[in-house]
Structure 1
Amino acid sequence: MDKVSGQKRAGAHLFPPIDPFDQRMLDVGDGHRVYVEQCGNPDGMPVVVLHGGPGGGCSPMMRRYFDPNVYRIILFDQRGCGRSRPHASVVDNTTWHLVADIELIRETLDIDRWVVFGGSWGATLALIYAQAHPTRATHLILRGVFLSTKRELEWFYGGGAGNFWPDLWQQFEGLIPVDERGDMIAAYNRRLFSGDTMLETRYARAWAAWENALASIESEGSGGSGPAEYARAFARLENHYFTHGCFLSDDQQILANMGKIAHIPGVIVQGRYDMICPPVSAYNLSRLWPASRLVMVGKAGHALSEPGISAELVKTMKAIGVSKISKI
């Protein structure tokens, strides 16, 4: 099945398309302006959506996982990507800048507490944000868990996933001289930040294509890289964050700090055949999180657009909405 068909099947589980009732560019400091939008019910239950990447940006489809009559849906493009500016910039762009941005958005929109919904890097950011501000998240809804560990990065950029997709790995690895292949993140970093826009774009496309090809179990390795502008921001930001260990002080920082958020209810939706973020991370996280529920979705990979993952996320958000309404 092609990617478009897979998205259509996922869309069957979602709410109808909606437009924002509020769009703004928020000055978050350091020369960065972040795109923020609100959809749904202005008086509804607030939910903030944290997109993946880093550098992926939000999309209109992300609005559709929530009942617009129940939820006040907040989406934003993280620093350097999507509609945020400056585009593809890694200056003053770290995990801790993003955590501060999320808090500024919450305060600017006069929200006390909210549901935090994130997938892949968005799940990473959701966990780090909640650990930094444990009184602000009412629930954590996570998909395709990434814990920002060396083990995970070595799996995806060190040949682990390449053992399952050797032809695609060769396309990704083949652009790098043999003597540099021992550290693919560093090798791509030299090219993504070369100062030559054409060279950066070429390697950005290869970086994005490697990840996108493995995102969905139904894509059959044909994910593509997306437009050049998107690929350049996505690749540069991901590489920047991964080069710096996502700016965490400890490789096991997220798991080591789960005690801070053990009380927050959470649902982890994980594709059983996720080739980008293997399920062991979600499993290890759930074991340290007593208030969580782990849902392994069979015949599903990493992408938000996987039909089984979409269905489970919508089901989860409906249940939270019903629970909230029943208490009123």
Structure 2
Amino acid sequence: MSELRGFYPEIEPFETGMLDVGDGHTIYWERIGTKGAKPAVFLHGGPGSGVSPLQRRVFDPELYDVVLFDQRGCGRSTPFAGLDNNTTWHLVADIERLREMVGVETWQVFGGSWGATLALAYAETHPERVSELVVRGIYTLTKAELAWYYQFGVSEMFPDKWERFLKPIPEAERGDLMAAYRKRLTGDDHAAKLEAAKAWSIWEGETITLLPDPSLSHKHDKDDFALAFARIENHYFTHAGWLEEGQLIRDAHKLRGIPGLIVHGRYDMPCPARYAWELHKAWPDAEFHLIEGAGHAFTEPGILDKLIRATDRFAGK
């Protein structure tokens, strides 16, 4: 068996900037790799997590010119944790603005978790702009998926961590936890808002890997990260991403002819593998890999190996 591939070396952007996308929002963007090489865009997860230096390292910098950006309201984008004019379709339009800014006709679209949701929404809206589509940790925001993670399902696997997730919410409000959290995350009581944000954020940080990863859960415990992450994620999930029920799988026929890759961990807790399997059946052009011994995070060895092999292959390496 060949050795598992790991990250490319650390790299700094060769260009950064702020793009005014209207509606009172300005988004931070950066470009890494080699200017004028194969164009790609990286879509981060959450929604609300922002980009990180590690995410730059899944592309060969000699072969790619990659745009990474903080989606509306998170990371270095402004306004911080802003929810107004912040929907899936605003983000799809922002991706098009970035493509036009770079000046390319098509580019590779790469996204994991919520980034995969957004990548599918973008590619189904603008299939003519996508040279390849690489998605990992498939999440289609159906009612069943949302309930599985935030009401009943993953709670059965992590009863200790679930108890901490429930703590900020009185028993009388636990019948609809997303709504109970929304009330606190959008309320005026800053202490209650921060308590809810950290509980929401840590729940995710501690359940996305097959084995515990303290570095991930520590990041999710930081005040600023947790506030943007929890507010924006809860906002999107409360509205089911402004998607019709089952829309992304239903419209996967629009991806026909786009080369791609679907990678999913067998033991992905937030995102049940069933939906990755359904996408695989609806979009047969894509290579499909269900990774044994892996959870949700892109840092897990089997998942990372497939992603980097794909970006190499799509660049002709």
Asked if TM exceeds 0.5, the reply is: yes
SS in 1 for 2:104: coil
CA contact (8 A) 2:139 2:271 kept: yes
For the residue of structure 2 that corresponds to 1:318, the secondary structure is: helix
**Equivalent residue for 1:235?**
230
Partner of 1:223, secondary structure, is helix
Q: In the alignment, what sits opposite 1:69?
A: 62
> How much is the aligned-residue C-alpha RMSD, in angstroms?
1.4
Structure 2 equivalent of residue 265 of structure 1: 259
Aligned partner of 2:283 in structure 1 is: 289
Q: Secondary structure of 1:28's match?
A: strand
Match of 1:219 in 2: 212
Q: Aligned residue for 2:270?
A: 276
2:314 is matched with 320
Deviation for aligned residue 1:174: 2.8
Looking at structure 2, the residues matched to 245 and 160 of structure 1 have their Cα atoms a distance apart, in angstroms, of: 18
Question: Contact conserved, 1:154 with 1:160, CA < 8 A, in 2?
Answer: yes
Selected match of 2:201 from 208, 214, 239? 208
Moved over 2 A (4+): 220-226
- In 2: Cα distance, 1:312 partner to 1:198 partner: 42
Of residues 283-292 and 191-200 in structure 1, the stretch that sits farther from structure 2 once superposed is 191-200
Aligned counterpart, 2:77: 84
Aligned partners of 1:120 and 1:143 also within 8 Å: yes
Q: Is the 8 A contact 1:159 1:169 kept in 2?
A: no
Q: Note if 1:121 corresponds to 2:114.
A: yes
**Counterpart of 1:308?**
302
Conserved 8 A contact 1:263-1:290? no
Whole-angstrom distance in 2 between the partners of 1:204 and 1:89: 14
What whole-Å deviation, never above 9, does each CA across 1:50-91 have from its counterpart, x for those lacking one?
Answer: 000110101011111000000001100000000101100001
Distance in 1 between residues matched to 2:249 and 2:137, nearest whole Å: 16
Give SS of 2:73's match.
coil
- How many percent of aligned residue pairs carry the same amino acid? 47
Deviations 1:129-172 (A, max 9, x none): 01110100011100100011101001001120010111111111
In 2, the alpha carbon distance for the partners of 1:127 and 1:101 equals 15
For 2:241, the aligned partner's letter is: C
Counterpart of 1:3 in structure 2 is none
Q: TM-score, normalised by structure 1?
A: 0.93
Q: Is the 8 A contact 1:144 1:302 kept in 2?
A: yes
Which residue identity is paired with 2:57?
R
Tell me the distance in 2 between the aligned counterparts of 1:253 and 1:168.
31
Q: What are structure 1's unaligned runs of at least 5 residues?
A: 1-9, 324-328
Asked if structure 1 preserves the Cα contact closer than 8 Å seen for 2:51 and 2:69, the reply is: yes
1:7-48 deviations in whole A, cap 9, x for unaligned?
xxx9x7011111111100000001100001001010210110
* Matching of residue 165 in structure 1 with residue 158 in structure 2: yes
SS in 2 for 1:17: coil
Q: Secondary structure at the match of 1:264?
A: coil
- Matches of 1:112 and 1:227 in 2, distance apart? 39
